[in-house]
Amino acid sequence: MKCYLISLLFVSTLFAGTYDDLYTLKTTPSTVVQDQFLDGSFLEIKRFNSLDFSTGTLSESSEKELNTIIETIEKYTEKKEKIKIKIIGHTSEKTDRFNPITFNKEDSVESLQKSDAFAHKVAKKLEDNNISKELLYVEYRGSKDMGFSSVTQEGKDLSNRVMVTIYVNEIDKIQEIQEKDSDADGVFDSKDECPNTPSGVKVDEKGCPFDSDKDGVLDYKDECPDTMVGLKVNEVGCPISMTLSLNFKSNSSEILGEASQKVLEFAKFLEANPAYNLEIIGHTDNVGTNEYNNVLSLNRAKEVETMLLSENIDASRIKVLGKGEGEPVATNETTEGRAINRRIEVKLFN
C-alpha cells in the first residue's frame, strides 16, 4: 500500500510540470471548442501542482498551494505584467472502463457539471483575494483528462482536481517585442509617420525629420536652414521670392503700422545672408489711372528700399521696379481683393 501511495504522489508532482494545453475542451455538455490559448505565444507559462478535490472540497494541502498561486499572481500584477490565468476543472470518469458498452459513451453531464463546479470554486477564491475576474479563464473538462489510474477508488478520487496556469506577457500583445523600427530612427513602425527616414537624421515623436524654418524643405535637405518665414524656396530650401503684405496709406507710399516690422525682419535676413541680391517690385490695385499707378507702385518699392538701406543693406544688392496695376493676384471688384493687390514682391538672386 505504501508503494502505491508513493507512486500516486510521484504522478501528482510530475503532472504539474508536464501538463499540456494542446487539447479541445468542452465548455458546455454539447459544445466543443478549440482552446483559445493554442495560438498564443508567451514569455513565460507558470504551472502549479494540481489542486486536490478528491473529497469534493479543496484539501488542506491544496489550500496552501492555492495561497502560493495567489501570492504569485500578486507579484506579477504588482510588476504590471500582462497575465492570463487559466483554471481547468477535472473529474474522475463516470463510465465503466471494463464495460465496452458504456466506456465509449460521451462523458456524462454529471462529470462535466462537477468539474465546472470545482473550477469555479477556485475562481471564486481568487476573486475573493482581489484578483480581477477579467484575468480568469475558467474551463471544465469532465473526465477527459484522467490524472490517475481509475483501477482503484483512490485513483478515481485523485482525478477530481483543478489545474491553474499563469500565462505571462502574450508576445503578440507586447509592443516592445512585436514592434520594429525599420529605419532605426527611434520610433516604432506602428507610430512612424515617416517610415523611410535616412539613417542618422533627427526626427520628432512621429518619426518625421524636422523642418525648422517651416519652408517645406526638411532640415537634412535644406541648404538654407534659416529661411525667413514667407519666402518661397527652391528644392534645396533656398529663397527665390516672397510677397510682403504691406499696408500703405491710400494714394501714398508710406508704410503703415506692423508692416514696417516685416521689412525690418527681412533686413535681418539679408544681413545674415549677404550672398543674396534682390529685386523689389511694387504693385497697386486698379483705382486711378495706369500712369499714376505705375509711379505709385515704384514709389512704394523705393520706400521699402529706403528702409533696407537704413538697416545697412548695401544699395548694390537692391533693384526696384514698379508694375502698377498690371499683375493682380486677386479681384479688383472687392475691397478685400484690392487690398491684396496692393503689395510688394521681392525676388532673390545669388
Q: What does the pLDDT read at residue 292?
A: 94
As given in the structure block, the three cell numbers for residue 289 are 489711372
Mean pLDDT, residues 258-283: 87
Q: What does the pLDDT read at residue 75?
A: 92
Q: What is the DSSP letter of 92?
A: -
Q: Are strands 318-322 and 277-282 parallel, antiparallel or unpaired?
A: parallel
Category of 284 on φ-ψ map: left (φ > 0), alpha (ψ -120 to 50) or beta: beta
Q: Which one of 9-23, 67-81, 135-149, 165-179 scores highest in mean pLDDT?
A: 67-81
Q: Report d(CA 26, CA 137) in Å as an integer.
A: 13
Mean pLDDT, residues 319-334: 93
Mean pLDDT, residues 314-340: 92
Write down the residue that cell numbers 468539474 correspond to. Answer: 115
Domain spans of the chain?
2-176, 213-349
List of residues 6+ apart from 183 with CB closer than 8 A? 192, 195, 196, 197, 198, 199, 207
Q: Report d(CA 213, CA 234) in Å as an integer.
A: 14
Give the number of other Cβ atoms within 10 Å of residue 159's Cβ. Answer: 22
Inform me whether the pLDDT recorded for 280 exceeds 70. yes
Mean pLDDT of the chain: 78
In terms of Cα–Cα distance, which of 139, 124, 132, 1 is closest to 57? 124
The superfamily CATH assigns to domain 2-176 is: OmpA-like domain (3.30.1330.60)
Instruction: Compute the half-sphere exposure of residue 11: CA atoms within 13 Å on the CB side of its CA.
Output: 13
Q: Report d(CA 15, CA 47) in Å as an integer.
A: 10
Among residues of the chain, what percentage have pLDDT more than 70? 75
Same CATH topology for 2-176 and 213-349: the answer is yes
User: Is 32 or 164 the better-scoring residue by pLDDT?
Assistant: 164
Task: Using pLDDT thresholds of 50, 70 and 90, give the confidence band for residue 148.
Answer: low
H/E stretch holding 88: strand 83-90
Mean pLDDT, residues 117-140: 92
Task: Using pLDDT thresholds of 50, 70 and 90, give the confidence band for residue 250.
Answer: low
Inform me whether the pLDDT recorded for 31 exceeds 80. no
Task: Using pLDDT thresholds of 50, 70 and 90, give the confidence band for residue 301.
Answer: very high
Going from the C-alpha of 228 to that of each of 173, 242, 265, 275, 317, the distances in angstroms are 46, 9, 8, 15, 18
Q: Picking from 1-5, 6-10, 111-115, 186-190, which range would have the lowest pLDDT averaged per residue?
A: 6-10
As given in the structure block, the three cell numbers for residue 101 are 458498452
The superfamily CATH assigns to domain 213-349 is: OmpA-like domain (3.30.1330.60)
Q: Which one of 55-69, 148-162, 245-259 scores highest in mean pLDDT?
A: 55-69
Whats the size of the chain, residue-wise? Answer: 350
Q: What does the pLDDT read at residue 5?
A: 44
Q: What does the pLDDT read at residue 147?
A: 56
Cβ 190 vs Cβ 196: under 8 Å: no
As given in the structure block, the three cell numbers for residue 296 are 505709385
H/E stretch holding 74: helix 60-78
Q: What does the pLDDT read at residue 40?
A: 59
Q: What is the DSSP letter of 30?
A: T
Mean pLDDT, residues 243-250: 69
Q: What is the DSSP letter of 50?
A: P
Cβ 283 vs Cβ 350: under 8 Å: no
Q: Report d(CA 215, CA 227) in Å as an integer.
A: 7
